[in-house]
Amino acid sequence: MSTKQQTLKAPISFSGKGLHTGVEVTMTVNPAEADTGIVFRRTDIEGQPLIPALCDYVVDTSRGTTVEAGGHRVSTIEHIVSALWTLGVDNALIDIDAAETPIMDGSAREYAAAIAATGTVDLPAERKFYHVTEKMVYTIPEKGVAIILYPDDEFTVSLHVDYNSKVIGNQYATFNPGDDYTGKIAPCRTFVFLHELEPLMKRNLIKGGDLDNAIVVVENPIPDEQLAHLKQLFNKPDIEIKSGYLCHPELRCNNELARHKLLDLLGDFALLGVRIKGRVWATRPGHFANTEFMKQLKRTIRKAGEKPRFTYDCRKPALYDINDIRRMLPHRPPFLLVDRIFHRDDSSVGGIKNVTMNEPFFVGHFPE
């Protein structure tokens, strides 16, 4: 992977309906300058507000990742961000004329194909990386969710899903440097269990969902009347249940569900805003866990980047030693609370207090 930041060589446009809103939307991904990051621009709103695709702005993760800034949202961003980031696009300005990205066929296949066909160009600025230096863990024990990040020289992912489903079983997927994202991961579609459909519809979601953009898992046999209802609901008279899936069309690979979870994870991890050098192991990941882990990681990065106000070097002579201090402030132990001053400027002073186990001041305050 290039060490330089990259952007697209030319704009690319997509049109379709939003998965949850069902609204027709046009989205154009434009090249952008270095250090722009991936940013959405709502062209349907006065002033065309900008909404950065960063974990700090994530406000909802129910059946997709939603970002918000200034009271304006864009939802279901994970597929386009996954394709851009994984295929090397660090900077893009995405014009969108609705509140949700087009779901296309439920995968990132069309996004990835267009990005690959258009190509990328290097920018003058260097890419930003976070080098993982120690193991980091995020878990939701009651849901069996675990994401672990280990130190490594490259970004790799090993992912496992197990929903206690006799249809899905245990599925695994991996991503390594040099993998064919466009052919291996991008074509894998989103999925839903049949028993989840009614609740989602009652919550006014998946208005744009159909069997052309989602896989439906059928855990238990259903009566003919329900199948007939589904055919009518999706306007697909030829659908049938095969091996536990409401197939229209067939699955694209035997672990398509795990690969789609990998697609989502790559998109959600891109919301960190810097590229990761580390090895990921994920069990039953989802948008909430992915984005919360990125928020946790971002706090760690910020903390590591905070420089201490003063730097003390015991090898350098003190500005004021204990005797200088006693002449200025004629106290005696236990109230001689500073042993040396190593820094002083117009607005601040830095000092050292050495504490020993027989320090008289502390005996009364912390007995034994």
How confident is residue 24, by pLDDT bands cut at 50, 70 and 90?
Answer: very high
Q: What is the mean pLDDT of residues 17-39?
A: 93
Q: What is the mean pLDDT of residues 68-87?
A: 97
pLDDT at 363 over 60: no
Q: What is the mean pLDDT of residues 104-128?
A: 96
pLDDT at 347 over 90: no
* Rg of the chain over all Cα atoms, to the nearest angstrom: 27
Domain at 307-368: CATH code: 3.10.129.10
Share of the chain above pLDDT 70, in %: 91
Please, what CATH class does the domain formed by 4-187+256-305 belong to?
alpha beta
Which range in 85-89, 249-253, 311-315, 323-327 is most confidently predicted, on average pLDDT? Answer: 85-89
Q: What is the mean pLDDT of residues 308-319?
A: 82
pLDDT at 234: 72
Structure-token pair, residue 219: 């855990």
pLDDT at 127 over 60: yes
- Mean pLDDT, all residues of the chain: 90
pTM of this structure: 0.80
pLDDT at 89 over 70: yes
Q: What is the mean pLDDT of residues 337-351?
A: 90
Q: What is the pLDDT of residues 196-244, one digit of tens each?
A: 776 666 666 555 566 677 888 888 888 888 888 777 777 778 778 888 8
pLDDT at 313 over 90: no
Q: So where are the chain's domains? A: 4-187+256-305, 191-247, 307-368
pLDDT at 355 over 80: no
Least confident segment among 86-100, 194-208, 218-232, 298-312: 194-208
- Note whether 99 and 18 are within 8 A (CB): yes
Q: Which of 76, 79, 81 is nearest to 53 (CA)?
A: 81
Residue with the larger pLDDT of the pair 190 and 331: 190
Least confident segment among 114-118, 162-166, 196-200, 320-324: 196-200
- Note whether 8 and 30 are within 8 A (CB): yes
CA distances 16 to 13, 98, 213, Å, are 10, 11, 11
Residues assigned a catalytic role = 287, 365
Q: What is the mean pLDDT of residues 23-40?
A: 97
Q: Rounded CA gap, 49 and 43, in Å?
A: 8
pLDDT at 232: 75
Q: Quick count: other Cβ atoms within 10 Å of Cβ 66?
A: 23
